[in-house]
Structure formats: structure tokens, C-alpha cells
Amino acid sequence: MAKAILFLEDGTSFFGESLSTVGESAGEAVFNTAMTGYQEVLTDPSYAGQIVCMTYPLIGNYGVNDEDVESDKVHVKGFVVKEFCRFHSNYRATKSLIEYLDENNIMAIEGIDTRALTRHLRVKGAMKAIISTEDFDPASLKKKLEKVPSMEGADWVKNVTTKEKYVWKAEKGSPLYKVAAVDCGIKLNILRILARLGCEVHVFPASATAEDIEAIKPDGIFISNGPGDPAAAKYIPETVKKLVGKYPIFGICLGHQILGLALGGSTYKLKFGHHGANHPVKDLLDNRIGITSQNHGFCVDMKSLGEDEVEMIDINLNDQTLEGLRHKKYPILSFQHHPEAAPGPRDAQYLFDHFINLMQEHKKT
């Protein structure tokens, strides 16, 4: 272990100790309020470009395993905790979290006051930060952060999307539906759930054209979660625009924001985003409240969408932001939170059934 600093762009410093990986790593500092699910957080492509602070004080008590990953690698730029657990215990564990972070060369720092850091980010907002074991000079670190691009205006999708199209087979026999998924940073549990519901998922790179997608004659279109500013990835909503009205479309997280843009709306950056597995959301259609998993820094502005065409169907009960929308004419719906629940509660997993119903009804016509 080595002495380490977490330096924020506003000049605030936090000192702690690093794990085996030394050096420097910079990104946008955000906090996550989940008590568990750290392996899913680390491997969630939506965290690309970010340094994640876990608000729960002891992280790593159940180790890591080979099954709970959400992609093929760790995406976070850095990991900040109060204390790493040295003695993990779980029958599924294959190694400790510390070993996992070291093997993936992730800059991780412990021993800082994560409550103070979280409060600072809530008050001042998410901001650029750098973890270093080499440089402790504020003036020098500030200059380095000036060269780090802001998350606002940054297209991170191109860094995490699949390079080639691939197919995820449906479970148990012949597929009931063929789904074209636009991969903006798709999580594996989304694919697992769609496969369980009888979908054969054709996963396309985010750069795929409408013609590429229509060539497979899909029963429905899925727009996935992903990192960065949705408005910076202009090519995706332009593609989705060409598919509106032709197929049922379902979006999650960044996919929800992409749909908002494709339908003529706009997005804006949240002060510190929503990151965690305990966010209450109200389903306005069924008048039910669920606790949801969330990970995003941008939001669709409901006022920018035409009320005659689009309606809000889910609302965040913490800050009243838009959490779900559907089109009044076309079979289109999307949600800002993560109904695939990885990590997080399964309260909202039923929303995948809405997509299945849309495809079922569309096939009839």
C-alpha cells in the first residue's frame, strides 16, 4: 500500500492509501449509494470515465465471482471506499475484491472520509478528480485535471460499444421474438432477461445504421444503457428517428435519453446524478412505487417533448425528475432506471414484460 490523494477540480483534497496499483487516474467523481453489488458497479460500462465512491463504509465482504460481471472488463477510472474488507466470505466467491482490483490495475483508495466526500459532491456537484500516488502538489494536479475532458459533451459510447454484431440466443428452444439491440454499453443481465423471455437478441454496434438494423427484420428494437452525454452521440438518435413508427422500441437509461432526443426532446446534466440501488420511483400507470437501481448523470427534459405525442409514466420520488415515458401513438416506451436490477432490487423487472407485450401486439398487426 502507498499513500494516495484524491484531488478534486475545485481544489479539495482527500488523503488515504492505495492498493497495489500505483500511478494516476482521472475521471468524473460520483458517489454510489448501494450497499452491495460492487462487482456489477465496477463492470457496468455506464461508469466508463468515472471515479466511483461507495457510500457504504465496508466494501468487499463477499468477495467477487465469475458470474456477477456486467461486461467483459472493469470500466471505472477509480474506486474510492472507506475500508476494503480483508476477510471475504461467500460460497460463490473465487477471489477477494482487493485481488480483483489489483489484477485489473484499477486505482483504488481507502481510508478517506467517504461521508465528507459524498456531502461535498452533493453540495458542489459531480466534478473531475484524480487519484495519485505520485504527485501531491495541488497546483500540478489542477493542471492535469484541466486536460481531462468534461463528461458533458463527451461521447463515451464509442469506447464501450461492441466492435462487431453478435447474437445472444434465446433460452429453451426456438425464439419467440427477434430483437435488435443497439449497444451503447449494454449490461449482460439485460441480455439474460431478454433471452429468458424468449428473445433472440441481435446486438449491433452503436454506429449501426437503420438499414443495418432493418435488414434482420426485427420484431422490436432495444436501445441500451451506456456512459457519457447522450447529446454528444448524435448518430444514435438520428438512427433511432428512422425506426420510430416502424417497430416497437424499448430504451433503458442512456437508451431512454436517446429516445427522448429522437422524439425531438432535449437532455440536461444532473447536479450529481443518480447512482445506487435504493432510488424510489413511482409508476404512474399502475400507481405503484418501486425501489430501483440507477446509474446516470443526465436526464430527459419532459418539457421539451410534445405533450400531444409523449407522456410521462414514471417519476423519481427523490427529485421529481422524469423516469419513464411512452409514445401516445407508436409502440415506444423507455425508462431511466435499470429494471434488470444488476445490482439492485427486482421491483421494476416487470417492465420487460411491457416490451414483450408491445412486440406481441405488433406481430398481430
Residue 270, classified by CB atoms within 10 Å of its CB into exposed (0-12), middle (13-18) or buried (19+), is middle
DSSP percent split of the chain into helix, strand, coil, nearest 5: 25, 35, 40
Q: Give dist(CA 52, CA 78) in Å, integer.
A: 6
Per DSSP bridges, beta strands 199-205 and 249-252 are unpaired
Cell of 19: 492498493
Paired sense of beta strands 288-301 and 266-283, if any: antiparallel
Is the distance from CB of 294 to CB of 274 less than 8 angstroms?
Answer: yes
Closest CA to 96 of 180, 16, 38: 38
- Residue 88 contacts by C-beta under 8 Å, 6 or more apart in sequence? 60, 61, 62, 63, 96, 97
Q: Which residue has the cell 417492465?
A: 351
Which residues are identified as catalytic?
253, 338, 340
Amino acid at 237: P
- What distance in Å separates the CA atoms of residue 106 and residue 223, rounded to the nearest whole number? 29
Strands 199-205 and 177-183, sheet pairing: parallel
The whole-angstrom separation of Cα 270 and Cα 273 is: 5
Closest CA to 186 of 259, 254, 243, 268: 254
**Cβ contacts of 1 within 8 Å, gap of 6 or more:** 17, 18, 19, 20
Strand partners, 128: 28
Counting beta carbons within 10 angstroms of the beta carbon of residue 308, is it exposed (0 to 12), middle (13 to 18) or buried (19 or more)?
exposed
